[in-house]
Amino acid sequence: MNRPAMLAAAGRRLPNIWDMVALLCVIGFLVAAAQAARGTLVPLTALEATPIVLDPLTLPGYALRTTLRMFAALFASLLFTFTYAPLAAKSRRAKLIMVPVLDILQSVPILGFLSFTVAFFMGLFPGRVLGLELAAIFAIFTSQAWNMAFSFYQSLITVPADLDEATRGFRLTGWQRFWRLEVPFAMPGLVWNTMLSMSAGWFFVVASEAITLGDNTWKLPGIGAYVAAALEAKDITAVGWAILAMLVVILAYDQLLFRPLVAWSAKFRFETTQGATAADPWVLSLLRRTHVLRVAGEAVGDLFGLITGLRLKLPFSRPRPKLTGPEPSSRAADAVFAVLVAGGVVAAIYQIVTFVTATLSWSDLGEAVLLGLITLVRVAVLMALASLIWVPVGVWLGLRPAWSRRVQPVAQFLAAFPANLLFPPFVLMIVHFHLNEDIWLTPLMVLGTQWYILFNVIAGAAAFPGDLQEAAQNFRVGGWLWWRRVILPGILPYYVTGAITASGGSWNAAIVSEVAAWGDTKLAAHGLGAYIAKATDAGDFHQIVLGVVVMSVYVVLFNRLLWRPIYEFAARRTTLG
């Protein structure tokens, strides 16, 4: 090798200016995170003695604390997704319980149970802020985990049969097939739902950082607590500064994390021809110039490959036969399983009825059922309108990667916008024009949940195979025929996933959307969300439990009668392969 080539090779191996910049950024972030984490170990008395200050200069520190909580909840959501969804998708008996439970979990208003979770976590760390921090992280987790689990579950049950057959031909183990086929196939939809989960965390961040237990109220340092204090003080300027801080944080993690992830997930599209692509984000280009970080990333990748067993090995054992029908079952085992499930359901119903009837009557049940029916009508109308608007928009963006990247941060910000920040204009408008609260408070329900449809449709259109698009173009399929025969069947599993999570999220959002307040002016619509919100403010646990149970029954029946049949049809008739 000549001398110039040797010098060039040595230059590529040595750290460069980009390495120094990247390392300084990483070290600075770690120092800031460690400094913020120290605040979780102080006693509660120190937190009570430090009120939330509405000075814009405090927002960077508050933003860092909120962001760390959200990423901690996101990490827990990923662990939940990679354990819960595979078990529900691959076990016939577990699916019968776990999928309805997931329906209930995504719709149960966690704000109604926040007092129980706060008491639990504070009992783990008595007298310490860490207990409140864990309660806040758990509240954010409940707004992130369910749609990620649904997305992964949908991908697992729609894996193309020929790809599954290929993994069996290569004699991959179940662990290898999971990481080599199932996770990559699910990656486009999972990345978009992960982005949506971060935005959903912002939607509930005010309630998660302003925590009340009995007569005590604590405000954890963060943007959510800052917003709560600004709303209490009716300080519009402070609300504007909080919105600006949210925008900056969302743009930062979109550029540094999600934009590279979306570009990386595009490599896992199921297609045999080159589809539409966009230029690599600047973060990926920067990382390619950093030698030290690239070597560290390769080392992490090798370690991950060693753990997940992705190295392709051909053992000498016989290949496992492919199942051609439903998994074999034992009638005795099914009978025992049915008895256990029925016993658990009967015991749960008995406990709930005993608890509720201690102070409530049949008239209270009738009131809750009637209010739930009103909220059901709202959810159905909102889902229909959101589908008509966002399905065409999502398809258009998903088929144009360059445009989807431009819209990506804007959609994340709009999805993250907390509904209670819109309480002032809505309350003032309703009071000034003497409008009907039942109608004009309704849009607040869908502000944070319509994005589930948009993001999932974008993911479905982005994952739509390019060779099928080319075939449709060659056969001159266009207009309504193209929508009916090509793109709608292709995105149907993704749309149903988004619609299920959006409808469940709308029920959950009803608790903060059917009741709006600005200063001393409070408005309430008729509905089950307002019923639970009033019971929570009054501390009436019997009414809270009754409202949550009625809401759960509505959600399960709605999903069983409408969304699940469509979901099974999508998995059976529109799976690629």
Q: pLDDT tens digit string along 465-501?
A: 877 888 888 888 888 899 988 888 888 888 988 888 8
8 Å CB contact between 258 and 455: no
Q: What pLDDT, on a 0 to 100 scale, did the predictor assign at position 314?
A: 37
Q: Collect all residues with Cβ–Cβ distance below 8 Å to 528 and sequence separation of at least 6.
A: 368, 371, 372, 374, 375, 507, 510, 547, 550, 551, 554
Determine the average pLDDT of the residues in 61-67: 89
Cα–Cα distances in Å, from 205 out to 34, 312, 564? Answer: 21, 44, 31
Determine the average pLDDT of the residues in 265-284: 61
Helix then strand then coil, % of the chain, to nearest 5: 80, 5, 20
What amino acid is encoded at 387 in this protein? S
Q: What pLDDT, on a 0 to 100 scale, did the predictor assign at position 17?
A: 65
In the chain, what is the straight-line distance between the N-terminal and C-terminal CA atoms, in Å? 50
pLDDT at 328 over 60: no
| 223-227, 310-314, 536-540: range with lowest mean pLDDT | 310-314
Q: What pLDDT, on a 0 to 100 scale, did the predictor assign at position 81?
A: 94
Q: What pLDDT, on a 0 to 100 scale, did the predictor assign at position 313?
A: 40
8 Å CB contact between 189 and 460: yes
Q: What pLDDT, on a 0 to 100 scale, did the predictor assign at position 322?
A: 45
Whether the model pTM is above 0.95: no
- Reduced to 3 states (helix: H, G, I; strand: E, B; else coil), residue 218 is strand
Our CA angle for 539, 543, 544, nearest 5°, is: 70
- Where residue 443 falls among pLDDT bands split at 50, 70, 90? confident
Distance CA(525)–CA(126), nearest Å, equals: 39
What amino acid is encoded at 346 in this protein? V
Q: Collect all residues with Cβ–Cβ distance below 8 Å to 432 and sequence separation of at least 6.
A: none
Distance CA(571)–CA(500), nearest Å, equals: 15
What count of Cα atoms within 13 Å lies in the side-chain half-sphere of residue 389?
10
Q: What pLDDT, on a 0 to 100 scale, did the predictor assign at position 76?
A: 94
CATH 2.30.110.10 fits 42-268+360-573, yes or no: no
Higher-scoring residue by pLDDT: 551, 204: 551
Q: What pLDDT, on a 0 to 100 scale, did the predictor assign at position 310?
A: 46
CATH 1.10.3720.10 placement within the chain: 42-268+360-573
For the chain, what percent of residues have pLDDT higher than 70? 75
Would you state the structure tokens that stand for residue 199, as one six-digit string? 């935005």
Would you state the structure tokens that stand for residue 478, as one six-digit string? 């266009």
pLDDT at 532 over 70: yes
Q: What pLDDT, on a 0 to 100 scale, did the predictor assign at position 323?
A: 44
Q: pLDDT tens digit string along 355-380?
A: 777 777 888 888 999 999 999 999 88
Distance CA(499)–CA(501), nearest Å, equals: 6
pLDDT at 424 over 50: yes
Higher-scoring residue by pLDDT: 259, 82: 82
Cα–Cα distances in Å, from 292 out to 23, 59, 244, 261? Answer: 9, 33, 35, 20
Q: pLDDT tens digit string along 393-412?
A: 999 998 888 888 888 888 88
Strands (E), 431-563: 515-518, 521-524
Q: What pLDDT, on a 0 to 100 scale, did the predictor assign at position 102?
A: 83
pLDDT at 31 over 80: no
Distance CA(364)–CA(167), nearest Å, equals: 56
- Antiparallel, parallel or unpaired: β 210-213 and 216-219: antiparallel
Q: Collect all residues with Cβ–Cβ distance below 8 Å to 350 and sequence separation of at least 6.
A: none
Q: pLDDT tens digit string along 126-163?
A: 878 888 888 888 888 988 888 899 889 988 888 887 88
Q: What pLDDT, on a 0 to 100 scale, did the predictor assign at position 374?
A: 92
Distance CA(187)–CA(265), nearest Å, equals: 6
- Where residue 519 falls among pLDDT bands split at 50, 70, 90? low
| Length of the chain, in residues | 577
Question: Burial letters for 77-99: b for 16+ Cβ neighbours within 10 Å, e otherwise?
Answer: bbebbbebbbebbeeeeeeebbb
Would you state the structure tokens that stand for residue 145, as one six-digit string? 């985990």
Would you state the structure tokens that stand for residue 526, as one six-digit string? 């008729």
DSSP letter at 91 equals -
Q: What pLDDT, on a 0 to 100 scale, did the predictor assign at position 79?
A: 94
pLDDT at 275 over 60: no
Determine the average pLDDT of the residues in 105-126: 72
Higher-scoring residue by pLDDT: 575, 562: 562
- 290: nearest Cα among 17, 29, 26, 8: 17
- Antiparallel, parallel or unpaired: β 515-518 and 216-219: unpaired
Q: What pLDDT, on a 0 to 100 scale, did the predictor assign at position 10?
A: 45
pLDDT at 213 over 80: no
Q: Collect all residues with Cβ–Cβ distance below 8 Å to 489 and sequence separation of at least 6.
A: 573, 574
Would you state the structure tokens that stand for residue 531, as one six-digit string? 């019923």
- Where residue 174 falls among pLDDT bands split at 50, 70, 90? confident
